[in-house]
Amino acid sequence: MKRLFAASFACLACAAASAQDEAPKRPDLPLWELGVAAGTLSQQAYPGSDEQVRRTPVLPYVIYRGKVLRADNEGAGLRAVKTEGFELDVSFAGSLSSGGRSLRAREGMPRLGTLVEFGPVGRWFLNGRDAAGRLTFELPLRGVFEARDLRRHRGMSLEPELGLEGRAKGDPWSYGVSVGMLVGDRRLASTYYTVAPDEALPDRPAYAARAGLIAWRLKGGVSRQLTPDLRLFAFGRVDSVTGAENRDSPLVRRTTGGSVGIGLTYTLMRSAARASD
């Protein structure tokens, strides 16, 4: 689990560290930056869980602003297509699981393993790439796999998201908010919500998960440049299983849950070469 958390937190730190990219006109930026991030995060163990997973990491991060290969505020991936109003990427993602301890709802069941996700992401800039308050629509389709054994396919996820992000000229604060949904196939839904007959208890009947909506998501984040090298960031997310396909699973213990985090990034070095776009 620690490896997956590292990937997730590093992506968040990278987003905060490169938040200056969100200004209305893209400034002159280094081709690459290396830094370190530290912070704390409390996340709902899975959509519908009544328990939190907490971590306090110190991690390195890298930003690379190449024309094709990128790791920046929009994720890490291979940008296959880029126009003024659209991008097609190959990107990567991760999410927290229960870690080394057993969740009460899943007592006697296999612990949720470390998962990694990757696949194509379409990104539309609805009011222009350089808008002061940039409105985007993203449509990522990712395969989900066990981190310890990538041959163990855990399903497919689709996560359409409408977001608003920006930073006023000269303002040290930047922001981002988004609303979206997480949809999974039967295999992914089973990872979270299936209870096999031999795992059933008097208060946890057997249940076969179905493909469909897993959760609605509302996300937000802010960051502030404190010095040329030091940046503060904070983020939050609310997940709701209202109307979800597996709302009736006995593993769903809470309709709405939240995740919050706060941290700092510090740039250790940056390239003299400049990003070409």
Q: Kindly list the averaged pLDDT for each block of 10 residues, start to end, along the chain of length 277.
A: 42 52 58 91 91 86 78 62 84 65 85 84 91 92 86 91 83 91 96 95 96 97 92 95 97 95 94 78
What SS3 class is residue 244? coil
C-alpha 97/C-alpha 176 separation (Å) is: 25
Closest CA to 115 of 153, 60, 59, 141: 153
pLDDT given at position 81: 78
Is the sign of the CA dihedral 20, 39, 4, 113 positive or negative? negative
pTM attached to this predicted model? 0.83
DSSP classification of residue 15: H
Amino acid 67: pLDDT: 73
Distance between start and end Cα atoms, the chain: 36
What is the Cα gyration radius of the chain?
19
Q: State residue 4's pLDDT score.
A: 37
Residue type, 58: V
Question: Measured on CA atoms in the order 52, 5, 8, 263, is the torsion positive or negative?
Answer: positive
What are the backbone angles phi and psi of residue 103, rounded to the nearest 5°? -80, 145
Q: In one letter, which amino acid is 198?
A: D
- At 135-177, the pLDDT tens digits run 999 999 999 998 777 788 899 999 999 999 987 666 788 899 9
